[in-house]
A and B are shown apart, each in its own frame.
Chain A
Amino acid sequence: MLRATLKKSDVTQWAARFGRTVAANTLPPLICAAILFLIWQIVFGRPGATLPSPLTVWREAQDLIIDPFFRNGPQDIGLGWRTLTSLQRVGIGFSFAAIVGIFIGAVIGQSIWAMRGLDPIFQILRTVPPLAWLPISLAAFRDSQPSAIFVIFITSIWPILINTAVGVRNIPQDYRNVAQVLRLNHFEFFWKIMLPSAAPYIFTGLRIGIGLAWLAIVAAEMLTGGVGIGFFIWDAWNSSRLPDIVVALFYIGIVGFVLDRIVGAVGSLITRGTSAS
């Protein structure tokens, strides 16, 4: 009897604590968002405002907000579909960047001379804005689809490459000694020592890289056209559908946030236990 009551109060206590934690983490952002929406509504709610207010967006772009996956025709599709098209391009470009970046980064990190020679060049190349690559890649590929993917690739490879190189350079001498005593060959060293040891650095690079890739795809699609979310914004601008643009911006922001969190979560899952102790 006593035990049963104890147990019950335990459960309620636990529920209360869980509820408090959830509230503590979700309430502040919700309140802040509400305040921002309110300010936005007050500033742009007046007649003659240049930008739409939240209520106008809701009224005029309701179909886009409510159903992300409708298909009314070849060019009249939900923003979910457009986002997926963009994500596919990002996926291809980013995967190439990850593979090539990790591989070249590993090679460069192993050689002090390669590092000294190439690092300044990479530091310069990495500051070139994504769109500056677009004309060159259009000229080289003569097609918009591979050009957009190349822009993703060339934008996101630098942080991956540089971080991998730094991670490889920071492999503790102890691990190298272990590998030497066991006479691991280059291949075994790469898979068994280098990748796990440099994983925290590599994932930092991947996380920055995916952020840059998502920044670049919108800009690239604006110019290359097609189905993606970036082109949608350009198209909406040309036909003066400002509320649609606002909705698209929310999509881009949320998807970028989710991508960042996914890479971060995968990173902390894989590098769990990698930190030396």
Chain B
Amino acid sequence: MPAYLKLDHISKTFRRGSSETEVLRDINLVINECEIVSIIGHSGCGKSTLLNLIAGLTPVTTGAVLLEDREVNAPGPERAVVFQNHSLLPWLTVYDNVALAVDKVFGSTKSRSERHAWILHNLDLVQMVHAKDKRPSEISGGMKQRVGIARALAIEPKILLLDEPFGALDALTRAHLQDSVMQIHATLKNTMIMITHDVDEAVLLSDRIVMMTNGPAATIGEVLTVGLERPRKRLELVADPDYIAARESVLRFLYERHSFVEAA
């Protein structure tokens, strides 16, 4: 099977005046179609930088991001991003936020009524049709993140990039949204890369977990394959030996071998 997304010897150095900071060094990763890959690491290790590199929002210093064997070096709708702080436009309603994306990407290929149906379909995927006429300030944090996911899904990206999508949510809402993501993945089979710092989230959702070493010059320390059957049920997994083993090995990586040395 050919690589769907390939990160080929990527490194990133930030320059500010005469000082240089090497954030990422020699990142190599191949992601297959329909796969969910989590990237986990301590804060400051360059996880979000890596996601921005894949999204094309930040240029790579050396190396290349290849999507279906073609280099991508600028942002584009085939790599949709779900931002950590939802990034909905506050002056638009929930519907219009999704419509902005849909009209731009499908403006020439879908008719007006097709686009309308498509917007509602995507809001329905995240159970947000009921709030379609509300503005972002009128809905809860979890709902905003749902709309952010709907906006990203609606442009039918080849790959969905999630930047700590549930980091700012409370535990119950987070669990709810994780279930939604698993459901969406079961239906649409999207390829997803998710940045997270939550070990349970990584094990529950991912096919593989990419563990990053600490910065500066962070790189991939280890890649763990999570072989749990789908669909995965949160409650059944609690006592599942494979789940426990996967969780343990991530924890060991993060807290034994690469524990965070500086004061957090």
- The answer to whether B79 touches A181 (Cβ under 8 A) is yes
Instruction: Report A210 CB to chain B, min CB distance, Å.
Output: 23
Cβ-neighbour of B85 out of A174, A181, A193 (below 8 A): A174
Q: Which A253-277 residues sit within 8 Å CB-CB of chain B?
A: 271, 273-277
Cβ-neighbour of A275 out of B75, B87, B90, B104 (below 8 A): B90
Q: List 8 A-B pairs, Cβ < 8 Å.
A: A177-B57, A181-B76, A181-B79, A181-B80, A182-B104, A183-B77, A197-B91, A274-B91
The closest CB in chain B to the CB of A181 belongs to: B75
Please report the C-alpha to C-alpha distance between residue A181 and residue B83 in the assembled complex, in whole angstroms. Answer: 11
- The answer to whether B87 touches A175 (Cβ under 8 A) is yes
**Hey, what's the 0/1 contact readout for A61-100 against B, CB within 8 Å counting as 1?**
0000000000000000000000000000000000000000
Instruction: Report B243 CB to chain A, min CB distance, Å.
Output: 34
The closest CB in chain A to the CB of B81 belongs to: A181
Residue A192 at the chain B interface, CB threshold 8 Å: yes
Cβ-neighbour of B104 out of A174, A175, A183, A196 (below 8 A): A183
Please report the C-alpha to C-alpha distance between residue A182 and residue B98 in the assembled complex, in whole angstroms. Answer: 11
Cβ-neighbour of B83 out of A177, A184, A197, A275 (below 8 A): A177
Q: Which B77-112 residues sit within 8 Å CB-CB of chain A?
A: 77, 79-81, 83, 85, 87, 89-91, 100-101, 104-105
- The answer to whether B83 touches A273 (Cβ under 8 A) is no
Which 8 A-B residue pairs are closest in the complex by CB-CB distance? A174-B87, A277-B137, A180-B75, A196-B91, A274-B91, A181-B75, A182-B104, A273-B135
Given contacts A174-B85, A180-B75, A274-B90, 18 further A-B contacts (CB under 8 A): A175-B89, A177-B57, A177-B81, A177-B83, A180-B74, A181-B55, A182-B105, A182-B155, A183-B75, A183-B77, A184-B104, A193-B89, A271-B91, A273-B90, A273-B91, A273-B135, A273-B137, A277-B137
Chain A residues, Cβ within 8 Å of B74: 180
Chain A residues, Cβ within 8 Å of B83: 174, 177-178
Please report the C-alpha to C-alpha distance between residue A275 and residue B136 in the assembled complex, in whole angstroms. Answer: 10
- The answer to whether B90 touches A277 (Cβ under 8 A) is yes
Please report the C-alpha to C-alpha distance between residue A174 and residue B87 in the assembled complex, in whole angstroms. Answer: 6
Instruction: Report A98 CB to chain B, min CB distance, Å.
Output: 20
Contact A178/B104 with A183-B75, A273-B135, A277-B137 known, Cβ cut-off 8 Å:
no
Instruction: Report B171 CB to chain A, min CB distance, Å.
Output: 22
Please report the C-alpha to C-alpha distance between residue A184 and residue B107 in the assembled complex, in whole angstroms. Answer: 12
Q: Which B6-27 residues sit within 8 Å CB-CB of chain A?
A: none
- The answer to whether B77 touches A177 (Cβ under 8 A) is no
Give the tally of cross-chain contacts (CB within 8 A): 59
- The answer to whether B77 touches A178 (Cβ under 8 A) is no
Instruction: Report B190 CB to chain A, min CB distance, Å.
Output: 16
Chain B residues, Cβ within 8 Å of A274: 90-91
Residue A188 at the chain B interface, CB threshold 8 Å: yes
The closest CB in chain B to the CB of A192 belongs to: B100
Chain A residues, Cβ within 8 Å of B55: 177, 181
Chain B residues, Cβ within 8 Å of A275: 90, 137
Q: Which of B79, B89, B155 counts the most A-chain CB atoms under 10 A from its CB?
A: B89
Instruction: Report B109 CB to chain A, min CB distance, Å.
Output: 15
Please report the C-alpha to C-alpha distance between residue A276 and residue B144 in the assembled complex, in whole angstroms. Answer: 12
Please report the C-alpha to C-alpha distance between residue A175 and residue B135 in the assembled complex, in whole angstroms. Answer: 16
- The answer to whether A276 touches B90 (Cβ under 8 A) is yes
Cβ-neighbour of A178 out of B76, B79, B89, B105 (below 8 A): B89
Instruction: Report A49 CB to chain B, min CB distance, Å.
Output: 56
Please report the C-alpha to C-alpha distance between residue A193 and residue B76 in the assembled complex, in whole angstroms. Answer: 17
Chain B residues, Cβ within 8 Å of A273: 90-91, 135, 137
Q: Which A119-178 residues sit within 8 Å CB-CB of chain B?
A: 174-175, 177-178
Q: Which B48-66 residues sit within 8 Å CB-CB of chain A?
A: 55-57
Instruction: Report A211 CB to chain B, min CB distance, Å.
Output: 26
Please report the C-alpha to C-alpha distance between residue A182 and residue B74 in the assembled complex, in whole angstroms. Answer: 11
Please report the C-alpha to C-alpha distance between residue A199 and residue B79 in the assembled complex, in whole angstroms. Answer: 30
- The answer to whether A182 touches B77 (Cβ under 8 A) is yes
Chain A residues, Cβ within 8 Å of B135: 273
The closest CB in chain A to the CB of B57 belongs to: A177
Chain A residues, Cβ within 8 Å of B56: 180
Please report the C-alpha to C-alpha distance between residue A14 and residue B80 in the assembled complex, in whole angstroms. Answer: 53
Q: Which of A175, A182, A188, A276 counts the most B-chain CB atoms under 10 A from its CB?
A: A182
- The answer to whether B87 touches A182 (Cβ under 8 A) is no
Instruction: Report B127 CB to chain A, min CB distance, Å.
Output: 21
